[in-house]
Structure 1
Amino acid sequence: MADATNCAGALPCASGPGLAAPFLLVSVGSLIATAVMLSKLAAAAGAPMLGYLGAVWFGAAGLLFLPLVFGRGPLGVAGTLHYGLGAGFLMIVPSAMGYLAVAHVGAGYISLTFAFPVLLTWLIARGLRMDGARPGQGAGVLAGLAGGVLLASAKLAGAGGPGGSVYWVMLATAIPVTLALGNIFRTRYWPAGARPLPLAAFSVLAGALMVLPFAALTEGGRLSLLWQSPELAGLTAAGAAVVAAQYVLQFRLQALAGPVYMSQIGGVAAMTGAVIAVVALGETLPPMFWPAALMIAAGTVLFHNAAAKRRR
């Protein structure tokens, strides 16, 4: 962990995130943005989105379990299962929100919502005494929040059209709350001695099993599209690979650097996702994108500078 204040419960602590943490930060943020892009393509191809989410996560869980089954095997199954239920719920809920809203608000906006959780994570961690005060860190998270509020308010102001677009913008904007709670839960209740890979595998499997019944109930007549359409089958397979890679690295980052540092993946996902949405999907940048992006970038720099000074 970056310092002792980030260590909670049984979570393994390191002397500092070093160079591995920034690498994981960029990698996970980029994978999140890629997963959002794939979900937008799936929505455009007519996928039942809860079914697509469940299939992607079920496939990702299978990929994560492969090295456990054929390698050393999962450790501490009982504690891991209990942990996986809570973590899986707090991971699948924001994903479901994003997958359902992406066709209405765009992949760029969904990606940008990932820049918001850092303040919420930091406030909760401070309240639970999981993270110590650092001079300048509060200014960083407030700058990032200001950028997020500016972006969301501009998006809401332009969402007066038909199709309940205001509802979808509000749903997408609520994603950071569950993301922040998930960041805290995964650190605070990390089982003693558990490794990141088994926790990631059980959590992703739990999330898949939670969403699939809702998919069957609401989209039962359309689920066959996921394997009957070659395009959707390919997008599902690609999504499973991306989600598996995302969570194995994300849980490693959580163990290494703690919830507040890890929440910085949102800024990477936000900027990467916005670029992908414009270049690959032909979306237009959300209103007030550049002022918001500058605020988010400035907040990220302030946050990392404060953390570096604390370590020194």
Structure 2
Amino acid sequence: MPAAVRNLPPVVLIIVIGVLVGISFALSKIAAMAGVPPFVALFRQLLVASLLLLVVGIATGRRLPLTRRHLGYYLGAGILGVSGPALIGYTVLSHISAGFYSALVTLSPLFTFAITAVVERRMLPMHRLVGILVGLGGVSIATQSGFDHDGTALVWIVMAMAGPLLLASGNVFRSRAYPPQGDPMMMATGALLSQLVLIWPVLALSGAAHSIPSIAAGPEAAIIGVGLITAASYVLTFEVQRRTDGVGFAQVGYFATLSGIGMGALVFGESIRPVLMISLAVLFLGLAISNGQVKRPTQLWGQLLTLAARWIPGIRGHPGAR
């Protein structure tokens, strides 16, 4: 890890990771819309990312730890943080918009709070419980009217929600299982290689391996791009995880959502409805409450209603919008 990156504050790295994740959603959608089988796309993504990190690791004299603890960490972090979410993304992004999928990623921090409470066997503080409920309200607004869902089956929306659930589980797992003095680059390399080893036999047994050479240039370039982003973002992910906990890292969801919605509008011409801005404001309010950044939610809620009144005339009659 370059000294310049190690010296950056975690919040800067979190923003960079979020932006990269949003871009990767758009690239994944290109592959999904081209009909590339999810396991084939994931294999190519893992191959690019693993080889890149392995070459860099060898060139810099690093060694991949292979203790039982490290192997368990690679496997768990890889399944929860890499393969699971990627397979879901490649599967659902041919049916839902990149912007909507990005909005759902904001559930990841809220799920992280809840899973942490279950794992640590303690009740959530009241402000975090309130924040989760407010955040779920924001997701409900986005799901109901923030995007154009005409012709989208409910199964794809439900499946898409499994993505942030796996990401949240990965946040908690990495926070609790991170090996002492672990090198972020080698931790990322091990996690990606473990998934490459898992995916190859599945791909071979499914008979989908024969379609790998037939991928068109555009989708193949998109998958390579996702692989490069995967390599960079997971090195940064493990660096942040080394310096903070799963709850802190979960704030990547803020920036992944904004980046993904922007890329969806820019690349695919996805419309951004005014009500979506309201749902995102509610989502971020929920996260801010859960983080303890908002001490008086009712006061900020009035400000949000005032903002909403500028977009939706029907809200003007609400007392909080005066």
Q: TM-score, normalised by structure 2?
A: 0.79
CA–CA separation in structure 2 for the residues paired with 1:133 and 1:230: 49
Q: Give per-residue Cα distances to partners, 1:10-54, cap 9 Å, x unaligned.
A: xxxxxxx99612101111111111111101112233423321121
- Structure 1, unaligned runs of 5 or more: 1-16
Equivalent residues in 2 for 1:209-224 (5 A)?
209-216=197-204, 217=206, 219-224=208-213
| Superposed displacement of residue 232, structure 1 | 3.0
| Superposed displacement of residue 200, structure 1 | 0.9
1:233 alignment partner, one of 210, 216, 220? 220
Cα–Cα, structure 1 residues 93 and 21, in superposed 2: closer, same or farther, change >3 Å?
Answer: same
Q: Is 1:169 the equivalent of 2:157?
A: yes
Cα–Cα, structure 1 residues 66 and 19, in superposed 2: closer, same or farther, change >3 Å?
Answer: closer
| Superposed displacement of residue 152, structure 1 | 3.0
CA–CA separation in structure 2 for the residues paired with 1:266 and 1:199: 22
Paired residue total? 287
Equivalent residues in 2 for 1:1-312 (5 A)?
20-74=9-63, 76-78=65-67, 79-91=69-81, 92-129=83-120, 136-154=127-145, 159=149, 161=151, 165-216=153-204, 217=206, 219-226=208-215, 229-285=216-272, 288-306=275-293
> Which gives a bigger RCO, structure 1 or 2 (Cα 8 Å, sep 6+)?
1
CA–CA separation in structure 1 for the residues paired with 2:200 and 2:104: 25
| Superposed displacement of residue 131, structure 1 | 9.3
Q: Give per-residue Cα distances to partners, 1:100-146, cap 9 Å, x unaligned.
A: 11010121122112100212211222233399976744443433232
Give the CA RMSD over aligned residues: 2.9
CA–CA separation in structure 2 for the residues paired with 1:220 and 1:287: 44
- Structure 2, unaligned runs of 5 or more: 1-5, 296-322
Secondary structure at the aligned position of 1:152 is classed as helix
8 Å CA contact 2:114, 2:124 repeated in 1? no
8 Å CA contact 1:144, 1:300 repeated in 2? yes
Q: TM-score, normalised by structure 1?
A: 0.82
CA–CA separation in structure 2 for the residues paired with 1:167 and 1:132: 32
- Residue identity in the other structure for 2:249: M
- Residue identity in the other structure for 2:73: Y
CA–CA separation in structure 2 for the residues paired with 1:283 and 1:112: 13
CA–CA separation in structure 2 for the residues paired with 1:21 and 1:173: 27
- Residue identity in the other structure for 1:247: Y
CA–CA separation in structure 1 for the residues paired with 2:50 and 2:162: 26
Higher gyration radius (CA): 2
Determine the structure 1 residue equivalent to 2:306.
none
CA–CA separation in structure 1 for the residues paired with 2:76 and 2:282: 33
Q: Give per-residue Cα distances to partners, 1:197-250, cap 9 Å, x unaligned.
A: 111111112223333443441533422223xx3223322322211111111111
CA–CA separation in structure 2 for the residues paired with 1:155 and 1:171: 18
8 Å CA contact 1:80, 1:198 repeated in 2? no
- Residue identity in the other structure for 1:87: A
